[in-house]
Amino acid sequence: MQDAGCNADYLIATIPQVTKGGFLFYNGDTKAYYKLNGKDNFAFNESASITVANGGQSNGAPSGCPATTASATSAAALVQSDSVESDSVTSDSTESDASELSLADGVTETNAESDDASDSAVTALDVQSDEIGVSLAADESQSKTASCIATDGTAGHPGTKCDIDTKAGQFKVNGLATGTYLLKETAAPDGYTINKTVYVFEITTGGTVAWKGGYEDGNTSGTLDNTLKPDLTHGNAISDKSTEMKWYKVSSEDPNAANGYLKGAQWQLVRVKDGANKDIATADQTTYCVVDGNGDGKSDSGGNLICPKTDTAGATITRLTDVSNTETTGTTITVKNEADGIIKITGLTFGTYEMTETVAPEGYDLSTATYTFTIDQTSTSDKTVEIKMTPAEGSAGTPVTGNRITNRPGAELPDTGGEGTKVFLCSGVIAVLVATLGLSLMARRCRS
């Protein structure tokens, strides 16, 4: 529910007009329902808006609020804020038949540069009767705004249950009948990969929830693993893993890296399309950089780091962390800041990225190519995200075999003041002396 805006004393909720039996307001803090006259459901009576106050309801909007035009599917209910506080709207339900399932959408392997963990979509399947489901998406810092219409299932057509928890990342479904259910994730939060596990739970006659285990690969015809359960100590938390992307630097003369990978490259990434494959306006594109091994890297001609730290004053680029080189001690994984010629990034949000090399490995020419790759909810460690060369006009992008990006060996001049410089200087002096001596001998012969 949101502030009505037109009247500070009221909250507003949009409710499906097809809701059967009316609706109630549920207070998640007091675990109680707010009812019409303390006992009945609220309901629309041929009005686009109703006002709920002092336990009663009336047609139309409260003072200061414009009349609402009803749509074919929904209408507005405005309720006194001091009556319901942080309530959510519950359709077709009373507390007598509301067996509840609560879930927390947990995450693992989070990346400091990507902390956007919105709601995932969760579908529960009743193996004894009909399918039920929830599909919501909202920012973690805001209330949920996605709409949901509860429907009853019919033979061969599953019904839908709505999430009545107003906090993003948490789910609550009530009104579940006694029986055994399968629960699976159908859409992951942005920046995370879909959890393939199918969880099994049971609603008992007393309305309690008992978790039975799960099928890790989603194959429900296999053997149930009774250890695969949500984290019961953290509100039935179900974890998703971050998206993952990895590539390698190799010499054009050693593409299979028999002599190891090339260390020390730096990269720039630009997100050019969103998760729906729609182009992002240039002004709205996000630019990232990453350094092999997470060191400071090289500086430009002005002495500024090409890939500055994200908290650097005036930085217009977001620095990512290369997590290819890690060390595990017990359950703790620590990133080792050592270049290894492999770049691994986790937590990139869904979309298409363009990637260019900004600093080449020592002794190699800078790659002038532009590469592309796409991140989605299937971008896991066991599925390599394919990198492609940016397509030339009218042709398809060429895949980069094994994500091994090559560099050609370059001509490397000795550093100023080094031993090589002395050799060049001495050789030059000798050449000048020889030339001078030759000219002197020729002049004498001419005079004689």
Q: For residue 431, give both structure tokens.
A: 């050449």
Note whether 387 and 399 are within 8 A (CB): yes
Per-residue pLDDT tens over the stretch 361-404: 999 999 989 999 999 999 987 777 999 988 765 566 788 999 99
Q: Do domains 99-240 and 244-407 have the same CATH topology?
A: yes
pLDDT < 70 stretches in the chain:
1-5, 8, 15-21, 28-31, 45-48, 67-148, 392-396, 411-448
Look up the pTM and report it.
0.64
Pairing relationship of beta strands 244-251 and 404-407 according to DSSP bridges = parallel
pLDDT of residue 394: 52
Any idea how long the chain is?
A: 448
pLDDT on residue 426? 46
Given a contact cutoff of 8 angstroms between Cβ atoms, the answer to whether 316 and 305 are in contact is no
Domain boundaries, given as residue ranges, for the chain: 2-90, 99-240, 244-407
**For strand 198-203 and strand 209-215, is the pairing parallel, antiparallel, or unpaired?**
antiparallel
CA nearest to 353, candidates 318, 388, 326, 304? 388
Q: What is the pLDDT of residue 56?
A: 80
CATH topology of domain 99-240: Immunoglobulin-like (2.60.40)
pLDDT at 17: 53
Integer CA distances (angstroms), 292 to 190, 227, 389, 401, 422, in order: 25, 38, 21, 20, 33
Query: Whole-angstrom Cα distance, residue 159 to residue 131?
Result: 6
- pLDDT at 119 (0 to 100): 52
Residue 445, pLDDT score:
55
Q: Which fold has domain 244-407?
A: Immunoglobulin-like (2.60.40)
Residue indicated by tokens 């993003």: 168
